[in-house]
Amino acid sequence: MGTKTLKRIIVFSDTHGKRNVMYDILQKKADVYIFLGDGERELDAMKELFPQKQILSVCGNCDIFSQQPKVGLYSAEGVRIMFTHGHEHKVKYTLDYLLRLAKDNDIQVMLFGHTHCRRLEYVDGVYLLNPGSAAEPRDLLPPSYAYIDITDGGIFCTHADV
């Protein structure tokens, strides 16, 4: 028997005005979508187009006058997920601040954007996941997003090209 997916979460970030990219990502099947900032205008438009979809979000450094929170928390099937854009946590230089925040809050998956580079690490019981930029990558890889599958066998995280 295979592993059963209990919850699928799609994570994306840094669309920077590319509405069509966000539209394409929201066409993919998931239980929840988490947007990590820098594209709030197009996100507002997508929420109107897809009112039935559960879309969580935080503000990015380019989301001027945003009313979105800087940090979000989501729990699914007993897994605690925290998400932030990352610009206030020095993610371009170190992940130590995010790891400490995760450990202090009993978080299993910490999501962040801002760098426009894909990243996935498992450190001291915490998945640190950056989906990369869905529109303007800086890591010489195609634009990307990420999946988190919460399964009966554990947590599975992976990147996907847009």
Question: To 5 degrees, how large is the angle CA 149–CA 102–CA 124?
Answer: 80
Which of 124, 118, 122 minimizes the C-alpha distance to 140?
118
pLDDT given for residue 1 in this prediction: 62
Compute the average pLDDT of residues 98-111: 98
Q: Which domain holds residue 141?
A: 5-161
Please say if the pLDDT value at position 3 is more than 90: no
* CATH number (domain holding residue 139): 3.60.21.10
Domains of the chain: total: 1
| pTM for this model (two decimals) | 0.96
What value does the mean pLDDT take over residues 64-81?
Answer: 95
